Structure 1
Amino acid sequence: MGWCLYFCIYKCGIIKQREVDANILYIIKASEGGFHMIDTISGKLIKKLPTYALIDVGGVGYGIHIPISTYHQLSEPNETVTLFTHLVVREDSLLLYGFFTADEKRIFLALISVSGIGARTALAVLSTLSAEEFEQSVIRDDVKRLTGVAGVGKKSAQRIILELKEKFSTQTTFSEIVPLHGEEVKEDAIMALVSLGYKRTAAQVAVQKAEGALGSIYGIEDLIKTALRFLS
């Protein structure tokens, strides 16, 4: 038997505990700063989709919401992976978000700290812009680029810039895009666009146009970002 997984959720002055067998230990505690937990999860990758990963940890499958940037960097199923994680606690659910790099997680946490910006929009940002591109857009007051993200309007973009500009430094490290090809990649790109709120028919047309614009060598992130330009 593995470690014990404890969920300690503070609500109305009552601590509720739930024990689950696993190979990792989370301790969630209530404080004025919110809920805290161990930052990573490691295990065998069972399944990956552009916005979702299933990781087996000691026989327990963890469903993790991910941005497209993380999907692109994940290994193939049945290999061991490690993701930086953040747990969002709601009244009726526990939602786990995962990121391939600490930098992605940092951007995600910064975004959900902005008034009116939720986890879904934060994932859309990371699925459209790299961490570096997002930071530079904020630093340079680039409202136009931020509004290119599905779900981010002009007022939201201005609020993001207002609340995050002073927090960001310009020194970060990022992974390179690995060229990919084939129908599977195009389908993944279409699925990713649909998950961002676009209709499948529109996503298919945009991906086809993006493929023509990019030529013969491109990565899935390139394909999605270019397709988004045709959708905007």
Structure 2
Amino acid sequence: MIGRLQGTILEKQPPDLLIDVGGVGYEVQLPLTSFYELPEVGKTAILYTHFVVREDAQLLYGFSNPTERSLFRQLIKANGVGPKLALTILSGMTAQHFVRCVQFDDISTLIKLPGVGKKTAERLVIEMRDRLKDWGVTPQTPVTDKLLLSDDEAIFAPPATAEQDAIGALLALGYSQAQAAKAVKQYLTPGISCEQLIKAALKSMI
């Protein structure tokens, strides 16, 4: 089991990351809530990881903190939820936000995530409620948006590249080409970063 990686970021293309650890390049997929907490390419990053072995693939998922990894592990135990859907859920909302949705039966928010229909949302609320009862979320707990970057933190790119990268990230999360393109296009402005585009597009669809 690979539980933690510390190394140099070689490539970043949401939601995929290539990180060099002792001369070995690990390909890791991250939820967007964790992805945009990463430092720039060439910098050192620490990831908490979950390793999945299938007959046709070996996949490594990374998280910026143990809490998100713990929630990911709880999600993939739920009936009908695999790693891809769990990654999509944690890309659409923070761990804190998801826990609050479960604890307060907010199905209407969950069904806005790609791949989460009404039955899946209802099943998640039922199955996850007991598992998450000790996470300490109350109706008054503020929900922070981990995708939000300050101007100093944003990595700016030419609009065309930002648009293509943002659409690609949304497609990887399960949104259709039409949904992704429409959501991204309405927020496309000169100088906007890929990170800001994805954040705005996700908020418009959830």
TM-score bracket for this pair, using the shorter chain length = 0.7 to 0.9
Q: Does 1:177 align with 2:148?
A: yes
Higher share of residues assigned strand: 1
Aligned residue among 206, 222, 226 for 2:203: 226
Secondary structure of the residue aligned to 2:46 is strand
Match of 1:195 among 168, 172, 189: 172
Instruction: Tell me the secondary structure at the aligned position of residue 145 of structure 1.
Output: helix
- Residues 196-205 or 121-130, more deviating: 196-205
Q: 2:116 aligns with which of 147, 152, 155?
A: 152
Partner of 1:137: 101
Distance in 2 separating the partners of 1:211 and 1:133: 26
Corresponding position of 1:59: 23
Q: Per the alignment, do residues 89 and 69 of structure 1 end up closer, same or farther by CA in structure 2, a change over 3 Å counting? A: same
1:2-43 Cα shifts (integer Å, max 9, x gaps): xxxxxxxxxxxxxxxxxxxxxxxxxxxxxxxxxxx3521111
1:206 Cα offset (Å): 1.1
Contact 2:166–2:197 (CA<8 Å) still a contact in 1? yes
Relative contact order: is structure 1 or structure 2 higher (C-alpha 8 Å, sep ≥ 6)? 2
Please say if residues 33 and 147 of structure 2, whose CA atoms lie closer than 8 Å, have aligned partners that are also in contact.
Answer: no
Query: In 2, are the aligned partners of 1:44 and 1:55 still within 8 Å (CA)?
Result: yes
Q: Does the CA contact (< 8 Å) of 1:203 and 1:227 recur in 2? A: no
User: Does the aligned pair in 1 maintain the 2:67–2:95 contact within 8 Å?
Assistant: yes
Identity %, equivalent residues: 35
Q: Report the count of equivalent residues.
A: 190
Match of 1:69 in 2: 33
Gaps of 5+ in 1: 1-36
Mapped partners of 2:3, 2:181: distance in 1? 36
Structure 2 unmatched runs, 5+: none
CA distance in 2, matches of 1:205, 1:161: 30
Work out the CA distance in 1 between the residues paired with 2:37 and 2:113.
21
Rounded Cα–Cα distance in structure 2 between residues aligned with 1:89 and 1:130: 26
CA contact (8 A) 2:8 2:44 kept: yes
Q: Scaled by the length of structure 2, what TM-score is found?
A: 0.81
Task: Return the offset for 1:211.
Answer: 5.5
Counterpart Cα distance in 1 of 2:108 and 2:28: 30
Instruction: Name the counterpart of 2:65.
Output: 101
CA RMSD of aligned residues (A): 2.5
TM-score between the two structures when normalised by the length of structure 1? 0.73
Q: What is the alpha-carbon distance in structure 2 between the residues aligned to residue 199 and residue 134 of structure 1?
A: 23
The 3 A distance-change label for structure 1 pair 113 and 149 is same
> Residue 34 of structure 1 corresponds to which residue in structure 2?
none
* Cα distance per residue 1:64-109 (max 9 Å; x no partner): 1111112211111111111000001112321111011212111111
